[in-house]
Every structure is written in structure tokens, then in C-alpha cells.
């Protein structure tokens, strides 16, 4: 057989470019890790002082491959951990300003150090954004000694830190913190800038710090240069529609609660189909409903209205029809606390806008607070577009790769596994009712416990987690429960989820960023078994949950248990659910699961379109700012 890289004849032909050859003959591509591994080996004989000198030299002329090798050696010396080739590949990918998909358990905490060191060398500050305060502190503590060895400083945006402490953290070469806190600090700085330039109307609200001569003394950030985002798809995609908002003043009781109470009583009297048109996203009054709502408006309430009366009533309808306690919010100290739908974590600093939060308070029977006047707001996509370079990691980025490329110009690279996966995903089981599903899950948990296999059950809502908890309690099965009501011990609960025979129930917070060690005793009986109690509206969240099992080549398995009463069908395909429910069987054929997946894809498409509209709105605002 002829060599395909050599011409069959001696006839003269046009030389083939290296890029062309590398594209069509992969074996001819140079190994991008070769210079990193070669430099990594050379550094092993250097003293700590010499390593610091290498880092100082890189400050003058940063080089990604040299920086990755240098930080890899620092990690080896400090922690005794030699980074895998796949971790070096991911680190170089991030340093080049791309997004790396790394499977759960592949060591993203270590990988983040590699680009953070490279970006920190530039002297403008590198921000490492995590999904919660625990992970920010844990990752910062892990990173600090390695950076210190190379002469770089590391800061932490601690919870409830004052402005001086935050300013000190931002002045460090690398700053760790929760992603939303970076955005809120930016907004607070914008408020300070606006106050400082109150007598200069030409200064726009979203004025950038770069180029300012003498910024106000209470500004904490020094601009947005480099960002390394953990769980980047969650931050940039899932949370894209939830803007960051800074509101003036603290929450205090409303001076006119009667407005929201009357709207709530009015909504309770309206009839679906006749007075309002139920919809998966909003509830709109019909002309008949508007007339009936107007009939309820009293003279003592009329002077206190800030918007149309129908808007108050529609918010009250949403609060009653679409917002459920222990699903969308929890009650803490007589206050409504929003639960993040993607992470399952409580968000005490958030509030719904335009009177919706007050409508939920009225429906929940709690103290009604004042509507906060938005003092500064920015969408998460708009905030992260302020950075010169953004990169990130996630275990579930490939599905969102086209949108990340289109919206952020952020290319996605799939990082191979360090060891082949041994995960077994079993076919979905579908039941007619939620009760039948919970009974089947209970039987499955009992079966796993009988042989000592640990089980992690992921739920979409607090309500579902507590319903399953009650079922297991009734059958005498011990378990650990983790949801927004018990978030304080999150790390400790999750770290024990792989112990033999352990049963853990957790909302989405278990799917992102938490480490689950699985001892050899548990691996011998099949490893961690993950049960999904519902399909989510995003397939990436489902995949993230299943990714908790079978990490680093360990054995493990996963399976979804579904019912026709699950929110995915009830909210987005109620007619389909009603048609399928006509069967008398408790468990439906496995093929029924396809209906859930099709509904999920339809919801994902609608969410993408909503984000596209939001991006167009952001672009319009940018054009308006430039025109001003």
C-alpha cells in the first residue's frame, strides 16, 4: 500500500501547508503538551528561589505554556500532586481564553490555578468565580500556598466583607469569590461613580472605570480584565435571564400593604379560562377579568397605586398559580427567601421585581415589604462581556457550545477523561402518579441498601425532597437530607454520600462543585448509585446530576424515575400528560420517557430564544449609551 503522505509519482506538485497537513493527517500534528511537559521536567531541579525568578521573568512577557508548566511544578511541590495530562490540556485551553468541558471529578479546582496564574502575571487582576461561598473559600485556601511560592498574592471575597476588605482582595493578583458577588461589587462601584459625578450629567450610569482620573475612594474593583468561571454554562446560560440588581435601602415593612392584600383577595376570586388565560410563562387577565378586578378596587387603595391595577392583580395571580412554597421560595423568620431554581440554594439578597415579591408575600401570609427601587442593574451576560478575556470550566458544556460561541465568542473544547468511564445509565422508569413513583424509588433504595451500595437522590424542588423523605421515614430507611432549609452543612453531608449503605436526598445543590469520595467498600458493590426524581427543564442539569456517579474510572450507575405528575409535563405539556394518564397501569412503558425528552428539548429551545431576545436588548442598550 502506498504511503498516503507521499506522491505516487515524481511529478512536481504544490507544497502542502503545515496547517493543511495537520488538519487532514492528525498524526502529523505537534503535541501542544510537549513543551509544557518538557519545561515541567526541567523545573523539578530548580530551587524555590529559582521558581520565583522564573515567575518574575514571566511578568515582563507572559507565556501560557511556560506559566502552565511553572504552576504545575508549584502545585507538585506544595501539595504533592502531579497534574495529569488532561489537566494540563484543560489549563492551557483556559489560558487561551476558551471553555473546557471536564467531567465531574477530573480535578477542576487544580485546573483553575493554571490560567489564574497566567492571567495574574499581567498585573491587572484575575477573578476566579465559583458558584457558592464555600467553594470560593475552599479553592482559595487550596490555591494560596502555590501562588505564594511563585510570588503572587491571592484574595478572597468573603461573605459580608466590608468595602476595605474587598478593596484589598481586588488588589491581589488573583481574587476568588462567588460569581454574583463580582457583579454586585461592579454595580456598587457604578453607584459610587454616579454619586461622585452627580453634577456632571454627561457621565453615564454605566461608566467604565478604565481611564478614570481619581475614582471615588469607595470603589473596590480595578476593572474587569480576566475571569475564570467555574460551572460556566450555569452562570452564562442558565442564569442569563436573572439580572443582577442593586436596590436602595434595606427591606422594611411596606407602608401600604393593603394594595397587595386586596390584589391577592381579588386574584383568589378570579376563574381560569374566563377571567384570566393560564400560560406557562405568564398569566394575563381577559377583558372580563379586568372588569371584575376593577370592580374590587377601592377608593382607599387607589391613591397608593404605582402601576396599573391589573398589573397588581396579574402579579397576585402568578404568586398564587405559579409560585409554590418549598419550590420557588422558603420562609425564614417570617420572610420570603427565593430559592435558585438551578442550584437549589437560598438567595436571601434577591427579590422579585415590579411588585411580584410583595404579591408572593401576600399569598404566603408573611409581612409585606417595601418595593425596592432599583439603583443599578446589569444582566450576567452583559457583566461578563466587560472582561477582556473570559474562560471557564463545566462538566456539561457541549450542549450549550453553539450558544456560548454566538453570545460570548467563547469556544468550547471537550477535555478527554483521565480514565475510561465505567458509568452505567439505566433506562428511565415512568409512572402514572407521583405516589407510585415514590413507592418505586423507596423499593429501589431498599434494594441498594441491602447490599451496602450508597444512593444519592437528586430532586428538583424542596417539596419533592421532603415528600421522599417522608416516604423513606415511613419505611424505616435512614437518610440524610440536604436542601435550601439545611444548606449550612452542605459540604459535610455531600462528602459522606459515598459511604456504604448511605442514602442522601439533595436538591440541585448536590450537582455542582461538591466532592463525593467513594471508598473501596462501596465500589465493590457497584459504586455510587444516583437516582433522578424528575427530568429538569435543561438536559445539562440532568447530565450534571448523573455525573456524580462513576468519577475517575470508578464504578457507578444512575437512573431517572418520572411520573406524569412531574412539573415538566404539568407546566409545559398538560394535555399530553392527561392523555397518557388514561392508562390504568401504575408503571408505563419505557418508551413513554421519550415524551419527557421531547418536552425538555422544546423548553430548552424557548429558553434559548428568550436569551437571544435579552442579548438583543443588551445590544440596544449599548447603542443607546454610545449615542448619549
Q: Order the strands of the 174-178 sheet from edge to edge.
A: 154-156, 174-178, 126-130, 226-230, 389-394, 99-101, 412-414
CATH assignment of 257-372? 3.90.1440.10
**pLDDT tens by residue, 187-233:** 999 888 888 776 454 444 444 444 444 556 679 999 999 999 998 98
For residues 381-420, one letter each, b for 16 or more C-beta atoms within 10 angstroms of the residue's C-beta and e for the rest, the string is bbbbbbbebbbbbbbbbbbbbebbeebbebebbebeebee
One-letter-per-residue 3-state SS of 1-67 = CCCCCCCCCCCCCCCCCHHHHHHHCHHHCCCCCHHHHHHHHHHCCCCHHHHHHHHHHHHHCCCHHHH
Q: Which residues of the chain have pLDDT under 70?
A: 1-30, 198-217, 247-250, 279-282, 342-344, 373-374, 484-489, 509-514, 625, 628
CATH architecture of 422-607: 3-Layer(aba) Sandwich (3.40)
Same fold, 257-372 and 422-607: no
358 within 8 A of 318, measured Cβ to Cβ: no
Give residue 34's pLDDT.
Answer: 94
- What span, in angstroms and rounded, lies between the C-alpha atoms of 344 and 234? 13
Domain extent listing, the chain: 34-209+217-247+380-414, 257-372, 422-607
Give residue 131's pLDDT.
Answer: 83
Give residue 20's pLDDT.
Answer: 40
CATH superfamily, domain 34-209+217-247+380-414, is P-loop containing nucleotide triphosphate hydrolases (3.40.50.300)
Give residue 513's pLDDT.
Answer: 62
Left, alpha or beta for 121 (phi > 0: left; psi -120 to 50: alpha)? alpha
Residue 569's Cα: distance from chain center in Å? 23
The dihedral over CA atoms of 474, 477, 483, 485, expressed in degrees to the nearest 10, equals 60
Neighbour tally for 627: CB within 10 Å:
6
- What span, in angstroms and rounded, lies between the C-alpha atoms of 580 and 430? 11
- What span, in angstroms and rounded, lies between the C-alpha atoms of 602 and 598? 6
Cα 146–Cα 119–Cα 415 angle in degrees, nearest 5: 80
102 within 8 A of 111, measured Cβ to Cβ: yes
DSSP secondary structure letter of residue 254? -
Q: CB within 8 A of 214, min separation 6: which ones? A: none
DSSP-assigned beta bridge partners for residue 154: 174
Cα 537–Cα 543–Cα 549 angle in degrees, nearest 5: 140
Alpha-carbon distances of 602 from 510, 537, 606, rounded to whole Å: 26, 9, 6
DSSP-assigned beta bridge partners for residue 175: 127, 155
Give residue 19's pLDDT.
Answer: 42
Amino acid at each position: 500500500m502506498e504511503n498516503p503522505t507521499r506522491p505516487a509519482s515524481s511529478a512536481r506538485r504544490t507544497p502542502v501547508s503545515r496547517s493543511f497537513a495537520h488538519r487532514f493527517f492528525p498524526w502529523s500534528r505537534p503535541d501542544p503538551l510537549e513543551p509544557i511537559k518538557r519545561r515541567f521536567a526541567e523545573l523539578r531541579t530548580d530551587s524555590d528561589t529559582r521558581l520565583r525568578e522564573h515567575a518574575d521573568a514571566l511578568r515582563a512577557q507572559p507565556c501560557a505554556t511556560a506559566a502552565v508548566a511553572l504552576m504545575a511544578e508549584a502545585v507538585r511541590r506544595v501539595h504533592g500532586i502531579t497534574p495529569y495530562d488532561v489537566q494540563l490540556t484543560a489549563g492551557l485551553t483556559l489560558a487561551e481564553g476558551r471553555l473546557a468541558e471536564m467531567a465531574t471529578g477530573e480535578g477542576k479546582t487544580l485546573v483553575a490555578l493554571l490560567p489564574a496564574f497566567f492571567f495574574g502575571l499581567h498585573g491587572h487582576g484575575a477573578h476566579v468565580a465559583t458558584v457558592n461561598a464555600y467553594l470560593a473559600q475552599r479553592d482559595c485556601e487550596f490555591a494560596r500556598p502555590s501562588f505564594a511560592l511563585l510570588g503572587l498574592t491571592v484574595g478572597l471575597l468573603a461573605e459580608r466583607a466590608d468595602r476595605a476588605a474587598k478593596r484589598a482582595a481586588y488588589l491581589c493578583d488573583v481574587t476568588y469569590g462567588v460569581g454574583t458577588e463580582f457583579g454586585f461589587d461592579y454595580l456598587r462601584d457604578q453607584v459610587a461613580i454616579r454619586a461622585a459625578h452627580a453634577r456632571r450629567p454627561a457621565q453615564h450610569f454605566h461608566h467604565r472605570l478604565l481611564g478614570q482620573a481619581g475614582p471615588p475612594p469607595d470603589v473596590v474593583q480595578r476593572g474587569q480584565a480576566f475571569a475564570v468561571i467555574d460551572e460556566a454554562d450555569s452562570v452564562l446560560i442558565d442564569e442569563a435571564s436573572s439580572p443582577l440588581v442593586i436596590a436602595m435601602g434595606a427591606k422594611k415593612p411596606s407602608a401600604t400593604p393593603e394594595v397587595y392584600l386586596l390584589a391577592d383577595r381579588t386574584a383568589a376570586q378570579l376563574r381560569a379560562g374566563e377571567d384570566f388565560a393560564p400560560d406557562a410563562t405568564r398569566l394575563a387577565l381577559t377583558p372580563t377579568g379586568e372588569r371584575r378586578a376593577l370592580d374590587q378596587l377601592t377608593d382607599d387603595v387607589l391613591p397608593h397605586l404605582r402601576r396599573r391595577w391589573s398589573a397588581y392583580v396579574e402579579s397576585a395571580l402568578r404568586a398564587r398559580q405559579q409560585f409554590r412554597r418549598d419550590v420557588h421560595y422558603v420562609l425564614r423568620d417570617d420572610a420570603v427567601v427565593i430559592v435558585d431554581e438551578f442550584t437549589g440554594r437560598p438567595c436571601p439578597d434577591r427579590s422579585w421585581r415590579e411588585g411580584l415579591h410583595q404579591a408572593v408575600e401576600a399569598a404566603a401570609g408573611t409581612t409585606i415589604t417595601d418595593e425596592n427601587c432599583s439603583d443599578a442593574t446589569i444582566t450576567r451576560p452583559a457583566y461578563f462581556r466587560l472582561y477582556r478575556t473570559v474562560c471557564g470550566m463545566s462538566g456539561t458544556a457541549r450542549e450549550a457550545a453553539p450558544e456560548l460561541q454566538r453570545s460570548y465568542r467563547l469556544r468550547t473544547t471537550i477535555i478527554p477523561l483521565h480514565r475510561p468511564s465505567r458509568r452505567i445509565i439505566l433506562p428511565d422508569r415512568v409512572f402514572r402518579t407521583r405516589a407510585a413513583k415514590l413507592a418505586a424509588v423507596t423499593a429501589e433504595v431498599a434494594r441498594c441498601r441491602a447490599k451496602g451500595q450508597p444512593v444519592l437522590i437528586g430532586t428538583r424542588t424542596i417539596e419533592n425532597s421532603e415528600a421522599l423523605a417522608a416516604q423513606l421515614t415511613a419505611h424505616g430507611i435512614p437518610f440524610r437530607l440536604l436542601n435550601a432549609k439545611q444548606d449550612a452543612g452542605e459540604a459535610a453531608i455531600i462528602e459522606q454520600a459515598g459511604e456504604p449503605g448511605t442514602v442522601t436526598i439533595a436538591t440541585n445543590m448536590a450537582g455542582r462543585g461538591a466532592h463525593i469520595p467513594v471508598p473501596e467498600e462501596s465500589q465493590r458493590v457497584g459504586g455510587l448509585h444516583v437516582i433522578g426524581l424528575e427530568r429538569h427543564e435543561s438536559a445539562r442539569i440532568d447530565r450534571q446530576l448523573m455525573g456524580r456517579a462513576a468519577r475517575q474510572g470508578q464504578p457507578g450507575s444512575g437512573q431517572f424515575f418520572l411520573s406524569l405528575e412531574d412539573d415538566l409535563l404539568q407546566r409545559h405539556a398538560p394535555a399530553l400528560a392527561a392523555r397518557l394518564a388514561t392508562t390504568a397501569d401504575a408503571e408505563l412503558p419505557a418508551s413513554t420517557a421519550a415524551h419527557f425528552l421531547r418536552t425538555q428539548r422544546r423548553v430548552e429551545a424557548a429558553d434559548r430564544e428568550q436569551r437571544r431576545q435579552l442579548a438583543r436588548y443588551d445590544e440596544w442598550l449599548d447603542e443607546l449609551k454610545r449615542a448619549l
